[in-house]
């Protein structure tokens, strides 16, 4: 984006790319699906509360995958729950992002010796940001969200769409 002074005194013209406008909107309206599975969920709720205040980044919690851009997997994922997790992820619309919050979500953590525990959410869905800790603090979760915003700002959605288009002759 650039500011170009126009002919009139005190007026400016802003030039930018469509990609940047789309990315600006997407990065600042990350609606995250509430997906608390264990004790990390308490920290996630705290991060959404008034002290850490995720809302100031345009990130608000949603109770349905169809309105969510971001899945925050907070807690221990069991094999039984993994099937539901994958289904919910598939119901989210593109582009979608995943944060694996805490040691349990990233690799099984404390409970990884358990026969029923999945050793990381990336075994079933792609993960964009791994957030270690038991539990990670609200500051760390905020940093993970900012990292997702950076990923979005680097993307080129229109170019990607053009590259994905197949020309059939």
Positions in the binding site for ligand SF4 (CB under 6 A): 38-40, 75-76, 102-104, 109-110, 134-135
What angle separates helix 40-48 from helix 138-154, to the nearest 10 degrees? 70
- Do the beta carbons of residue 95 and residue 26 sit within 8 Å? yes
- Residue 132 CB, shortest distance to ligand SF4, in Å, is 9
- Residue 99 CB, shortest distance to ligand SF4, in Å, is 13
- Residue 87 CB, shortest distance to ligand SF4, in Å, is 21
Read off φ and ψ for residue 153, nearest 5 degrees. -65, -25
Nearest residue (CB) to ligand SF4, 13 versus 134? 134
Nearest residue (CB) to ligand SF4, 46 versus 151? 46
Nearest residue (CB) to ligand SF4, 132 versus 157? 132
Nearest residue (CB) to ligand SF4, 112 versus 155? 112
Cα angle: 111, vertex 85, 150; to 5 degrees: 95
- Residue 60 CB, shortest distance to ligand SF4, in Å, is 22
166: buried, middle or exposed (CB in 10 Å: 19+, 13-18, 0-12)?
Answer: exposed
Nearest residue (CB) to ligand SF4, 103 versus 149? 103
**3-class secondary-structure state, position 127:** coil
- Do the beta carbons of residue 106 and residue 120 sit within 8 Å? yes
- Residue 105 CB, shortest distance to ligand SF4, in Å, is 7
């Amino acid at each position: 984006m650039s500011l170009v002074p126009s002919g009139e005194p005190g007026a400016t013209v802003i030039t930018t790319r469509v990609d940047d406008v789309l990315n600006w909107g997407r990065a600042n309206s990350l609606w995250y699906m509430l997906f608390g599975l264990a004790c990390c969920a308490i920290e996630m709720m705290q991060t959404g509360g008034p002290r850490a205040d995720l809302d100031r980044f345009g990130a608000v919690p949603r109770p349905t995958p169809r309105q969510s851009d971001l899945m925050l997997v907070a807690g221990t994922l069991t094999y039984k729950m993994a099937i539901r997790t994958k289904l919910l992820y598939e119901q989210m619309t593109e582009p979608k992002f995943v944060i694996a919050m805490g040691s349990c979500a990233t690799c099984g953590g404390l409970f990884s010796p358990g026969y029923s525990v999945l050793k990381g959410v990336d075994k079933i869905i792609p993960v964009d940001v791994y957030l270690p800790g038991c539990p990670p603090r609200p500051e760390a979760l905020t940093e993970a969200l900012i990292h997702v915003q950076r990923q979005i700002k680097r993307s080129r959605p229109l170019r990607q769409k053009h590259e994905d288009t197949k020309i059939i002759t």
